[in-house]
Amino acid sequence: MLSVSVFFAGMGFSEIMPFLSLYVATLGDFTTRQLTFYSGVVFASMYVVSALTSPLWGKLADRIGRKPMLLRAALGMAVVIAAMGLVQNVWELILLRMAQGIFAGFVSNSNALIATETPKAKAGRALGTMAAGVTGGNLLGPLLGGSLAEIFSYRATFLVTGGILLLVFWACFFLVKEEGFTPVTAAKFDHASGVIKSLRSPQVVLGLLLTTMIIQAANNSINPIVSLFVKELMHNGPGVTFVSGIIAALPGIATMLAAPRLGRLGDRIGTQKILIAGFLLSILCFVPSAFVCNPWQLGGLRFLIGIADAALFPQVQTLLTKQTPSKLTGRIFSWNQSTMYIGNILGPLIGGAVAGWFDYGAVFLATAGLVAVNLGLFLANVFFPLQKSQA
């Protein structure tokens, strides 16, 4: 049931993204510079607030349960996103995007619930299935949101999205069960230092959190310039928007198809090996992406990047599950979400800076270097310590 819920939640969250900047433009008479600024604030505000508040919700999840946190996130997001369709100025929209950040955490708490309810030996398969669900929702969301906005209006689409998340709330309320939950009440876990000291391998867990941040930053350094790179490859010819949409969707399609299979494989041969293979595949795809001659070559490499993503994000969560006591899963997964949001913020800044100083191809090379650094840090902070502890 949770994999279906995260599918619809992912679809709901991503529905509004294609036209959010266009919606901002309807809320005032802005210059181009003002519109760019306000759009950036509207996009970033949710991630900044989520990065700050996620650890607090994770702490509460370990005290009262992960299901209540699912319900909080689903209902809160339903109300907030529906209210976005009623705003009268850009400041109201910014405040609601900040509130959306406060109520974020549906997917991370779903992963935490699955991680605690699933035997650790099968965690890879379960979390891979969850990753496929949310990726599928993220793929269909922009298509549905764009269609609704075209047929009806921007405001109506916000209301529909709120309705979808309200259905997710009721589905989780009646159909999702949390069994065997033991609340964390020890005073030593009130602070991060107490949580870290209770971990079997703090270096491994902190290394995995850093890995998440860099993976997300690497992916988001590319996303903002993909359509511009396609436009350059097509020499500003016809069909740029259509081709860009296909290429943007290919990594998600590949992740959706590959994540459950790689999760099962990781359970059999070792999660660390799948992660290392994912890093290497990413590097081998990012480097030639800088030198492609047409959009179809870029599309093929972006599809392979999606397979690499399927070998990275779910496997990090699987390792976190295996290295974290069940009673602290909510806290650790909320930290993981915070580092993911920090990567969401850093990635576009890195990509934009590199593209501004050099060219679009240089962004792929810089991202390959970032992944190589991530691989080195993973080996130093996670892989070798794990090998030593298992010896």
Global pTM exceeds 0.85 = no
Asked if residue 88 and residue 18 are part of one domain, the reply reads yes
For residue 85, the domain's CATH number is 1.20.1250.20
Amino acid at 385: P
Identify whether residues 31 and 172 lie together within a single domain: yes
Task: Record the tokens describing residue 90, joined without a space.
Answer: 């850009």
Contacts of 115 (CB under 8 A, 6+ apart): 123, 126, 127, 317, 320, 321, 326, 329, 333
Q: What is the pLDDT of residues 261-274, one digit of tens each?
A: 888 888 888 888 89
Higher per-residue confidence, 387 vs 205: 205
Q: Is 194 found in the same domain as 163?
A: no
- Same domain for 124 and 34, yes or no, is yes
Q: How confident is the model at residue 277 (pLDDT cuts 50, 70, 90)?
A: very high
- For 103-153, where are the alpha helices, taking DSSP H only? 106-117, 123-151
Within-domain flag for 183: no
Domain limit, last residue, from 124, 154, 178: 178
Domain assignment of residue 143, given as a range: 1-178
Number of structural domains in the chain:
2
Give pLDDT tens digits for 76-103.
999 999 999 999 999 999 999 999 888 8
E strand or H helix at 57 = helix 32-64
Query: Which carries the bigger pLDDT value, residue 308 or residue 134?
Result: 308
Q: Are residues 334 and 298 in the same domain?
A: yes
- Which residue shows structure tokens 């994000």? 313
* Per-residue confidence (pLDDT) for residue 279, from 0 to 100: 93
Last residue of a domain, one of 157, 178, 199: 178
Final residue belonging to a domain, choices 178, 200, 230: 178
